[in-house]
Amino acid sequence: MKTAHDRKKKAKINSLLFGAVSIGLYAAVFKFADPMVTLYSKGGAYCLLPVSTVFLFSYVHGNFASNVWTALGIEASASAERKKDAKEATKRKDTRSRATVNA
Amino acid sequence: MHDVLLDGSRFVDLSLTGVLFMFFVGFVGGLVSGFIGSGGAFVLTPGMMSLGVPGPVAVASNMCHKFPKALVGALKRYKYGQVDIKMGLIIGISAEVGVQIGIQVQKFILEMWGAAGSNLYVSLAFVFVLVTVGSFVMKDAIATKRNGGEEKVTDLAKKLQSIELWPMMTFKGSNIRISFWFTAPVGLAAGLLAATIAVGGFAGVPGMIYIIGMSSLMASATELVVAFVMGLGGTLIWAFYGMVDIRLTLIILAGSLFGVQLGAIGTTYVKDYVIKYVMATIMLIVAFSRGLAIPKYLKQLEVLNWDAGLISSMSKTSFGLMCFALGVGAFIILKSMIMGRRQERKMAMAAGSNV
């Protein structure tokens, strides 16, 4: 099991990586803001452009934000993690043999 | 058809103050959404409009940021075992139907009584629904706190769960078995409210708690799935007509993805009734704020003849109160989270010293 220190260390590296990509993406958007706004507002099949763009940003920027909170030590309550582990631990495959009727 | 709408004038120039304002409101709105499952839209849309963004672009850009934010929040809360995906999808699809009905109602009112009539209808819906539901949720939150903080399934939900009406559905996530005919109306109501006041969660979350019988924690997390389904559908429609200003969407998203994850983390430190408490507080302040906007529309319809200066200051106060509602919600969340963390640390230290 990873300690809080290990998680923080990993999160710091990840936040730097995702942060750099996120900043790059935002810089690109604002550098090419005018052509982007024009292209994205064409409508019709172009409606997929804003949708796919926000999916990309939510992955990159979402991971950046998540790692920043972890790196700062802001994580879910330990009791929430315990509850979840307990829930998962209770899930057991029923492998008992059963009587079946073959026609 | 969309080519008709292609006109650059609807996209505003952005100032640094405007960008910072949207980032900050995005963060606070995200924090509240991550915690109670919805919220933020009621400030963001008028906030963008106050920066000169036309109404449809503000609604479209706000909706385009809503579904990725809800996705990130739902994934985070899923990790904590709080999301019922099946319930979220079923209510989300029912809500899409509700949105379509709500749009038809809005169109009818707009044709009959014009823009002022439509605005008056929206404000009256805001006040009526939020005061009714908000007071009920607040009363329940106070009662739950007094009884030790443990939530109980309502008698109505127990009764509905006991009725065997085809098709019955089993929701393993929330451990509930209930007929489709009792879940669909919750989605319809959420969709109707979303098409009217843009915050469907104010009907969806209480509906899931009091009618279906989910816990506040599960209902608020599942609402994020509903928001994702509704937001994605709505965005595709708005984007089809070329109404999304991607710059505005991405600025709000930059703040809200930080906020929504912090809000999700916050839910692990609080008892369920705190979610109800935050939701009810926001609902009641927002209802009061929208009440202050009603005289403006009554004057436009020539029903009232109040002084223009007074009506203008009431409208400004109304927007200020909406921001205040969001601020109060964020304050309660952060305070509860800080106190929860402090308590956990104390317990961990005490456990350490006992070893």
Strand partners, B168: B179
Q: Are the beta carbons of B253 and B68 closer than 8 angstroms?
A: yes
Which residue from B67, B242, B245 is facing A43, i.e. has the nearest CB?
A: B242
Boundaries of every domain in chain A: 4-73
Q: What is the pLDDT of residues A6-34, one digit of tens each?
A: 889 999 999 999 999 999 999 999 899 98
What Cα–Cα distance (Å) separates residue B329 from each residue in A85, B24, B29, B129, B334? 30, 14, 9, 19, 9
Q: Comparing B179-193, B195-209, B235-249, which segment has the lowest mean pLDDT?
A: B195-209
What's the pLDDT score for residue A4? 78
Q: Which residue has the higher pLDDT, B294 or B161?
A: B161
**Residue A101, Cα to own-chain centre: how many angstroms?**
48
What's the pLDDT score for residue B3? 42
DSSP B37: S
Phi, psi of B88 (to 5 degrees): -60, -40
Min distance A103 CA to chain B CA atoms (Å): 31
Q: What is the pLDDT of residues B295-336, one digit of tens each?
A: 888 888 888 888 888 988 988 898 889 889 999 999 999 999
Residues of A in contact with B340 (CB under 8 A): 77
Q: Are the beta carbons of B80 and B267 closer than 8 angstroms?
A: yes
Q: What b-and-e string marks burial along A68-83, b requiring 16 or more CB atoms within 10 Å of the CB?
A: bbbbeeebbbeebeee
Q: What is the pLDDT of residues B70-91, one digit of tens each?
A: 999 999 999 999 999 999 999 9
Residues of A in contact with B249 (CB under 8 A): 50, 54
Mean of the per-residue pLDDT values for chain A? 85
207-236 in chain B: CB under 8 A from chain A: 232, 235-236
Mean of the per-residue pLDDT values for chain B? 89
The rounded distance, in Å, linking the Cα atoms of B28 and B270 is: 18
Suggest the residue from B19, B76, B261, B344 to mutate for an interface test with chain A (most A CBs closer than 10 A). Answer: B261
As a whole number of Å, the CA-based R_g of chain A is 23
Residues of A in contact with B81 (CB under 8 A): 80, 83-84, 87
Min distance B119 CA to chain A CA atoms (Å): 27
What Cα–Cα distance (Å) separates residue B100 from each residue in A102, A103, B106, B154, B254? 51, 52, 10, 30, 30
Residues of A in contact with B65 (CB under 8 A): 54
Q: Are the beta carbons of A75 and A7 closer than 8 angstroms?
A: yes
Residues of B in contact with A41 (CB under 8 A): 6, 11, 242-245
Min distance B288 CA to chain A CA atoms (Å): 34
Q: By C-alpha distance, which of B213, B293, B252 is closest to B28? A: B252
Which tokens sit at B177? 């078995």
Asked whether the predicted pLDDT for residue B345 surpasses 50, the reply is yes
Answer whether B64 sits within 8 Å of A57, measured CB to CB.
no
Residues of A in contact with B243 (CB under 8 A): 41
Cβ burial of A33 (10 Å; 0-12, 13-18, 19+) is middle
**Average pLDDT, stretch A64-86?**
84
3-22 in chain A: CB under 8 A from chain B: none
What's the pLDDT score for residue A19? 97
